[in-house]
Amino acid sequence: MAGYFEEMGWRELEDGEQPDHLLHMARFIFEFGFNEDFNAREWPKLPPPASQETVKNLPETTIESDGKSCPICLKKFNIGEKVTEMPCNHQYHTTCISIWLNTTNSCPFCRYELPTDDEVYEQFKRNKKRSEQKQEDLAVLHNSMFS
Amino acid sequence: MANIAAKRIKREFKEVMKSEEVAGGTIKLELVHDSWTELQGEIAGPPDTPYEGGTFLLEIKVPETYPFNPPKIRFMTKIWHPNVSSVTGAICLDILKDQWAAALTLRTVLLSIQALLSAAEPNDPQDAVVAKQYREDIQLFNLTARHWTNVYAGGPTAIWEFNQKVQVLLDMGIDEDQARVALSTFDWELERATEHLFS
Ligand SMILES: [Zn+2]
Ligand SMILES: [Zn+2]
């Protein structure tokens, strides 16, 4: 049995350790390919926080024009004010966006997603992308055969 | 109440008062007890729906952690809709749960609830009984929703047959809301509704 566990990248529970059923179920679904149905659905709760590394490395920019405000606290930015910019170019007060990204990983304005430190969620995203690609390939194939 | 929450609600409140929806009378927002933690929303039933002509009041509770967590909103006006509980007024809407984003505002949320009245999502129901009727007999659903709009939200269309049936149960000593829920649930079949109420 130990050989099988090792082969699957699993290990036996320590004395008194409880199994993480959700993680195991997710792995089971992902690794054995019973995932078509699971992937068709959305992540069933708020996605996890953005990875701390990514948040730390978000660039700081300076406000150059008048009239824009922070979408989180709705306060107007002053010209010359230093703000944090997301990869989607949306700008926020550094404190405002840090609190939000510590809750969930996407831009509050356009839902652009940052990477997370959550292994199961990242796997879910990869599988979802793969199944979308598969759908697309099937559609291309179908169209080439019937048009 | 946390500082950021109160400040943001104040800014939102000013913004919404200037909006064209408020000017056009399709949504309204009012403070309750001047506290910023509780507000009352109002939406007009959208045209070409069974809710047309009705005015629906919403209870809005703003959490300490707003806008990092969504406001808690429920219908105070009774409504017959697959995504709203016919008993508690609880709303099933993704942006009030796992699809909340801090850039959404009370204005955009009220508009989304109004849009939900135009386009129900019976596959993600809050009220299974209503959703079943919606899927299986859309005409009866529309009539029932119009009747509720008339009785609870000031809508223009009274449905004589339904009022008669409610009256029959009232004469038996049943509470009015209870009678209406039972009749609506059992597709306005008086016998089944009565049986249910007395079982
Ligand atoms: Zn801000
Ligand atoms: Zn963005």
- Per residue of chain B (199 residues), give pLDDT as tens: 568 899 999 999 988 888 888 888 899 999 998 888 999 999 999 999 999 999 999 999 999 999 999 999 999 999 999 999 999 999 999 999 989 999 999 999 999 999 999 999 998 899 999 999 999 999 999 999 999 999 999 999 999 999 999 999 999 999 999 999 999 999 999 999 999 999 8
Instruction: Select from B15, B67, B100 the Cβ nearest to the Cβ of A72.
Output: B67
Full 3-state SS string of B36-47: CCEEEEEEECCC
pLDDT band for position A136 (cuts 50, 70, 90): confident
> pLDDT, tens digit, for every residue of A54-113?
999 999 999 999 899 999 999 999 999 999 999 999 999 999 999 999 999 999 999 999
The answer to whether the CB atoms of B102 and A44 lie below 8 A apart is: no
Distance CA A99, CA A46 (A): 15
Ligand nearest to the CA of A114: 2
The answer to whether the CB atoms of A106 and B101 lie below 8 A apart is: yes
Q: What's the count of helices (H) and strands (E) in chain A, helices before strands?
A: 6, 3
pLDDT band for position A35 (cuts 50, 70, 90): very low
In this prediction, the answer to ipTM > 0.85 reads: no
Instruction: Select from B11, B69, B100 the Cβ nearest to the Cβ of A74.
Output: B11
Q: Are B84 and B127 in contact (CB under 8 A)?
A: yes
Give contacts of A100 with chain B, Cβ < 8 Å: 68, 102
Distance CA B153, CA B113 (A): 16
Query: Residue A21 is encoded by which pair of tokens?
Result: 């059923």
Q: In what order do the strands lie in the sheet with B55-61?
A: B27-31, B38-44, B55-61, B72-75
**Which residues 100-119 of B have a C-beta within 8 angstroms of A?**
100-105
- More reliable by pLDDT, A45 or B158: B158
**How many Å separate Cα B175 from the centre of its chain?**
21
**Which residues 42-81 of B have a C-beta within 8 angstroms of A?**
67-69
Distance CA A10, CA A15 (A): 16
Catalytic residue (one of B92, B130, B151, B153): B92
Distance CA B191, CA B176 (A): 17
* B155–A contact, CB cutoff 8 A: no
Judge whether B104 counts as a catalytic residue.
no
* Residue B21 buriedness (CB in 10 A; 0-12 / 13-18 / 19+): middle
Residue of B nearest to A45 (CA): B98
Q: How far is A76 from chain B (nearest CA, A)?
A: 10
Give contacts of A71 with chain B, Cβ < 8 Å: 102-103
Position A36 pLDDT exceeds 80: no
> Which residues line ion ligand 1, judged by CB < 5 Å?
A 70, 72-73, 93, 96
